[in-house]
Amino acid sequence: MSSHYFYLIGEEVASIWGLTTRERLERILTRQEDWQAVTDLSRIERNDRVLLLRADYLLDERIIQGLIKSGRAVLKADGRPVAAMTNGAEVSELIPILTGETPLPADIRTLTPAQAASSFHNKLRKASPPFALEITPANVRPLEHHLFNEAYKGVTDLITKWVWPRPAEQVVRGCVKLGIRPNHVTAFSWVLVIAATGLFFAGQLGWGLLAGWLMTFLDTVDGKLARVTLDSSKLGHYLDHILDIVHPPFWYLAWGLGLAFYEPALLKTSVPGGFYILLAGYVGGRAVEGLFKRFLGRFGIFSWRPVDSISRLITARRNPCLILLSLGFVAGRPDLGLEAVILWTLLSTAFLLIRLTMGIQARFTGESLESWLQKPEEENPDHPAVRWFAPRN
């Protein structure tokens, strides 16, 4: 039975987001099969699978996965070999090639980063070229910035996309320096969710909004911190997603119950009645998203076509709804802010239902559903969705 090893060639230059090249690779490869770091080449048997990597290069996780699947290939970046997937019998031949001591033979299959991995990030709902970047003492900060941007979701709400990135990167940097882990941030987010709910219920709407907005910011921080440090856990994943899904309707209910007055302008119903309408719309929207992902496209409804990605910026999720509540509070009519949330939730769910129906129709007519982000080059480069979610460098 063969073993799986990775071997670093050369000296590690610097840490990126607190991780050396070896530590980063260990965290990446623990998600794969039973990979082990090896420093003694005599341990490697002829039939063992071996991943060779230059220690002075930062490789996209997608490239590492692509190399592993390639079977036998050399990755070239900046015009030189920087990594290879091979077997134990060829290690001694390939190491001098990766160090630049011997030229690359013509009969060895080579891959560019673009050939090794797709530019489509299904999990992050974005299109970005896979990268293999040289690490130098002078470019640590730019590399960290690049890695942070790569860890950021592409298709998301307008606050997360355009307001949070810069401050979130600084907070993530502080967390790394202080040894704060993603689960610590998620745990504090739970505290803020409970605090915001209590403050809304008590009629302290301004303080509740402050706690709510801080929670949404930390919701961005914990995910990016987990990705740049490759420090995630199943517990943290479940806690984060349960928190995201469950709490918004209860915020809106607490907001309504904490109002000093409520004078519905369009929906002639009580606060509890409005809550049931909102809850039906919220659950319905989430159900549509789940149905589309389960039966039509694993990429998710918001990555189907450009219009869907644009709609995600403002669809009735937590951050756009918090904007509506905040505007109502500032205007001195928090009751109208709540009514706006109810109406926007219903409209958003109606749009999702239309898109789900169109997806079902496309499937029954034989159309193959795929995300536009898989081939963004086929879209009009001047389309807002292309500029916002798949910019061409």
Domain 4-120 has CATH 3.30.2000: no
Pair of tokens at residue 242:
């349960």
* Cross-strand partners of 83: 53, 75
Q: Where are the beta strands (DSSP E) in the chain?
A: 4-9, 35-37, 49-54, 57-59, 73-77, 80-87, 110-111, 120-121, 126-127, 132-134
Which CATH homologous superfamily contains domain 152-389? CDP-alcohol phosphotransferase transmembrane (TM) domain (1.20.120.1760)
* Cross-strand partners of 54: 9
Q: What is the pLDDT along the chain (393 residues), one digit of tens a residue?
A: 678 999 999 999 999 999 999 999 999 987 666 888 999 998 999 999 999 999 999 999 999 999 999 888 999 998 999 999 999 999 999 999 999 999 988 888 999 999 999 999 888 889 999 999 999 999 999 999 999 999 999 999 999 999 999 999 999 999 999 999 999 999 999 999 999 999 999 999 999 999 999 999 999 999 999 999 999 777 777 777 788 888 999 999 999 999 988 888 888 888 999 999 999 999 999 999 999 999 999 999 999 999 999 999 999 999 999 999 999 999 999 999 999 999 999 999 999 999 999 999 999 998 889 999 999 989 999 999 999 998 876
How far apart are alpha carbons 190 and 68 in whole angstroms? 38
How far apart are alpha carbons 13 and 17 in whole angstroms? 13
Pair of tokens at residue 255:
């907001």
b/e map 215-237, b = 16+ CB within 10 Å: bbbbbbbbbbbbbbbbbbeeebe
Kindly report the pTM of this predicted structure.
Answer: 0.93
Domain boundaries, the chain: 4-120, 152-389
Q: Could you write out the DSSP letters of every residue in 344-380?
A: HHHHHHHHHHHHHHHHHHHHHTTPPP--GGGSGGGS-
Q: Which long-range contacts (CB under 8 A, 24 or more apart) does 21-29 make?
A: 21/53, 21/55, 21/56, 21/57, 21/58, 21/135, 22/55, 24/58, 24/230, 25/53, 25/64, 27/229, 27/230, 27/231, 28/61, 28/64, 28/230, 29/64
Q: Could you write out the DSSP letters of every residue in 246-278?
A: HHHHHHHHHHHHT-S----SSS-S-HHHHHHHH
Q: Could you write out the DSSP letters of every residue in 230-252?
A: T---HHHHHHHHHHHHHHHHHHH
Tokens 């590690």 label which residue? 12
